[in-house]
Structure 1
């Protein structure tokens, strides 16, 4: 477990020489993740249309992560009402990868070896009419080769059925489709013709290899093959785009609906189930600035990472309002995009909203362009939700170095008290951890994605308030010391 002293928690103000970061959370440089979630491309051919996840009623993002540098992982996938079978398929795959990673890296890892990281993030491809498409992007640094793989999951609301990527193509047209793919792949540098034939001739191998396909904005079909799938690893990941004119006759009835909904999206997603509205945050608007003088009274800063989460964040805001406590939320960009209303409620209640990257990677393992992309994209989402850009960021796993600091003007924030609430889903244990370790001007690390962590908050607020503690934001704590 990493421990952090008080001085770096409060005074890491980033008073170094910073380079200019990207202006809007995106970057066209070759070392930045492109619009389709794949790194290393400066221009995305036939891009997949972007989806606003905040329009999906009842959406819940299932997240899990650690803040332990020796066991760094972060996973997320969406849970959409009506698409339970697709959610179950994603859950099964994510939990299998996470279980294997934690067993090998966190429990059986060789002491002294550099920690490896698992990161699984999500991207909506289509959420319109009666079709839903999601891509999961997995970066597993404990795996062979690059450790990067992508998989798309599809849901057919009309048939109430989960579909694999190959379900976009009609069964009777798959031979013609495979022949067209082979024609475009053969002759490419690094492609192994024998491996290509073996992979596409066997039905099981074919389905496994063709697990990432999506309709492009102009109606074509984009097929992504992971590194080493049909070629030597040095060739990297391979992409083939079949134009609309070619692919349309081969699409299944479901694939045709995906094509229509991608090119001309319906106003909303309707999977044929009644939507349960997500609880809204009842937090009131803050009454003026916080005038707590931390030189005269005992202050402490509660911080919550990885949210917002529905309904956990809304519940937490209710608890904080009951004690007139202020906190700092270090939000993950892909969750901000899904629940901007919760981020807006945090800011209106007088809490501070900070940046925790777009999808929780170890920033020290990224290039300067990738770091800037992660932080700028998240800051843009926060500003869009609240009207104010953040000034603080918490590096995932507390991992920060000179390259990370130089890529942003945001001030890094670490912590003094680590509740390890991601490891121990026990509300009483989490509460005791904070109460026994609380000290004046301390910064406490918790996560509002865990129901048990949120359930611990009333006991924390009640007990520490009785001891004379005042709950303030990190910026207020710094400014008044």
Structure 2
């Protein structure tokens, strides 16, 4: 059924930040829940040190691998970084993400009508360190397909010196692991929900030990923060547990790689060198709009093409070139974590006369969040867009089109839904996407597409060529609204 409102809204799955000092546009996401204070969680330490922020736009050749749906019948959003030189680490993240997504889709999306009710999968990323010969990434997963909070995290490390993927436990030297484990157990014993016998059993078996110790992060002052997911070392009802070991305590136990990771976290060298043979960084397009759009949509046939989930390299740059060839304008609903990675592409969108809108930080279902979390998702993305373009957006598209009174009340942004859904996230076929738009689009429609998919971008020339020949003009959502 066609949604005939010009208030279209796709819902994004998201995460809130820790209380770290982050500049506008920097990668701040820590997970799809409010983890602002370790002490606020049942099993956590009384205090916690901040984790240093990383500016992903400074990583040469960075690509963000994203895969999102835009239907609340199958709500998922995943992302992880692909950094030149760290192919083994990228492969490990890819394998983990694809396994989780396949499991989710098999249960929530292919189990029959309505099978996804109450379910959602969101996997977001955060850079821990990207300096010298060390790369660290934390993936946070929110999986509402099971019981409990569904919130888990895992850290991935890459050693550029040895060109090797490292697990979290690899930051600790083999000969020091007994002392390290003893210190962790001493910190955990006595906390509410901890079963000492179960804790000893978990730490004694290599497989369960590796599974429990898969989330370790260096803090800005050189300490090591170890987070245990719900049920790893205590009763599930107690939630997760956090232990932070000071720099003085943990340094003697670190491996050679762990010491380099600690050093590059505390005093970053400012550049990342992983030995990649080629780090292509395509220049952003330099198309410039020739003045304001004077199209009168009362007099001519107009269409608003909208592109969600970007920017993406190199897809968004290619799309901007296609649009410039037809002097077409569009609206880009961007995710904050991708804006932080590619602010140059967002600037290029703005300079070319396109509209940049807000699609949340990391694409969560906003209706499942608290008002404070919704505000954080949108305000952080607003800040990233403003840092890139000098302008704050006025529109937002809620992920999955999920919006309610509480979401609207948490922001002054105007929600935007759509009239034509190409389902290009599901059908990666350029010809099919083009046929869908050409066959279904009518005057004053808002069309939903995604610039993270090469097949969707490849469909755009045929769409522009055919509909231009039929007398259509391509305008932004705000221009369409203003001239109707």
Indicate whether the TM-score tops 0.5: yes
Shift of 1:38: 7.1
Counterpart residue number, 2:217: 214
Partner Cα distance (1:192, 1:433) in 2: 57
Aligned to 2:7: 9
Where does residue 278 of structure 1 map in the other structure?
281
Question: Would you say 1:356 and 2:354 are equivalent positions?
Answer: no
Are residue 87 (structure 1) and residue 90 (structure 2) matched?
A: yes
* Contiguous gaps of at least 5 residues in structure 1: 13-24
Offset at residue 276 of structure 1 (A): 2.8
| Structure 2: distance between partners of 1:474 and 1:82 | 40
1-structure distance, mates of 2:2, 2:336: 25
- Map of 1:20 onto structure 2: none
Question: Are 1:417 and 2:415 counterparts?
Answer: no
- Contact 1:36-1:47 within 8 A present in 2 as well: no
1:233 maps to 2:249: no
The answer (yes or no) to whether the contact 1:393–1:413 under 8 Å persists in 2 is yes
2:302 matched residue in structure 1? 299
1:65 positional shift: 0.5
Structure 1 stretch 189-198 or stretch 240-249: which is displaced more?
189-198
TM superposition shift of 1:48 = 1.2
Give the Cα separation in 1 of the matches to 2:273 and 2:35.
Answer: 34
CA contact (8 A) 1:36 1:48 kept: no
Q: What residue in structure 1 maps to residue 375 of structure 2? A: 372
**Structure-1 residue corresponding to 2:272:** 269
Note the alpha carbon deviations across 1:364-410, whole angstroms, 9 max, x for none. 00000000000000000000000000000000000000000000000
- Equivalent in 134, 140, 144 of residue 143 of structure 2: 140
Q: 1:47 aligns with which of 41, 45, 50?
A: 50
| Match of residue 257 from structure 1 | 260
Alignment of 1:57-72 (within 5 A): 57-72=60-75
Counterpart for residue 245 of structure 2? 242
1:158 is the counterpart of 2:193: no
Pick one of 203, 209, 213 that aligns with 2:206: 203
TM-score under structure 1 normalisation?
Answer: 0.93
Query: What 5-or-longer segments of structure 2 have no aligned partner?
Result: 10-15, 20-26, 39-47
Residue 402 (structure 1) aligns with: 405
The 1:123–1:209 alpha-carbon spacing in structure 2 relative to 1, beyond 3 Å, is same
User: What is residue 185 of structure 2 aligned with on the other side?
Assistant: 182
Q: Is the 8 A contact 1:9 1:416 kept in 2?
A: no
Q: How does 1:435-454 map to 2 (within 5 A)?
A: 435-454=438-457
| 1:468 aligned partner | 471
Q: Partners of 2:150 and 2:36 in 1: how far apart?
A: 21
For 1:176-198, what per-residue CA distance to the aligned partner results, in whole angstroms no more than 9, with x for missing partners? Answer: 00000000000001111122111
Please state how far the C-alpha of 1:280 moved relative to its aligned partner.
Answer: 2.0
Secondary structure at the aligned position of 2:66 is classed as: strand
Deviations 1:284-322 (A, max 9, x none): 111111000000000000000000000000000000000
Give the 3 Å change call, closer, same or farther, for CA 109–201 of structure 1 in structure 2.
farther
Match of 2:44? none
Contact 1:228 1:236 in 2 (8 A): yes
Deviation per CA, 1:331-377: give whole Å up to 9, x if none: 00000000000000000000000000000000000000000000000
Query: What secondary structure, in the 3-state scheme, does the structure 1 residue paired with 2:183 have?
Result: helix
Contact 1:4 1:414 in 2 (8 A): no
Q: Does 1:346 pair with 2:349? A: yes
Kept in 1, the 8 Å contact 2:121–2:144? The answer is yes
Distance 1:285 1:8, change over 3 A: closer
* Change in 2 beyond 3 A, CA 1:161/1:460: same
Q: In the aligned structure 1, how far is the partner of 2:35 from the partner of 2:457?
A: 40
Query: Closer, same or farther in 2 for the Cα pair 1:143/1:47, shift >3 Å?
Result: same
Q: Describe the SS at the equivalent of 1:334.
A: helix
What's the Cα RMSD here? 1.7
Residues in 1 aligned to 2:278 and 2:32: alpha-carbon distance in whole angstroms: 33
| 8 Å Cα contact 1:152/1:212 also seen in 2 | yes
Tell me if structure 2 keeps the 8 A contact 1:71–1:115: no
Deviation at 1:8?
Answer: 4.6
CA distance in 2, matches of 1:53, 1:455: 27
Counterpart position of 1:477? 480
Corresponding residue SS for 1:6: coil
**Cα offset for 1:56?**
0.1
Shift of 1:461: 0.2
Give how far 1:113 is off: 6.6
Aligned positions of 1:374-393 closer than 5 A: 374-393=377-396
Secondary structure of 1:74's counterpart equals: strand
Alignment check: 8 A CA contact 2:18 2:37 kept: no
